[in-house]
Amino acid sequence: MSLLHTLRRPPVFNAWYPARRCFASSSKTADAALAAPAIASEAKKVDGAEAVSRSSCPEGTILTGMSYLKNQQPVTAMADDAYPEWLWKLLEPKQLPDDGPGGKAEKYMLRKQNRRKIRDQNFMKTQ
7-65 pLDDT, tens digit each: 677 666 656 555 555 555 554 544 444 444 444 444 454 455 556 778 888 999 999 88
CA 123 and chain centroid, separation: 29
The H-assigned helical ranges of 1-127 are 3-8, 32-42, 104-125
The per-residue b/e assignment along 3-32, b for 16 or more CB within 10 angstroms, e otherwise, is ebeeeeeeeeeeeeeeeeeeebeeeebbee
pTM tops 0.75, yes or no: no
Q: For position 34, what pLDDT does the model report?
A: 46
> Virtual CA dihedral for 77, 83, 87, 88, nearest 10 degrees?
80
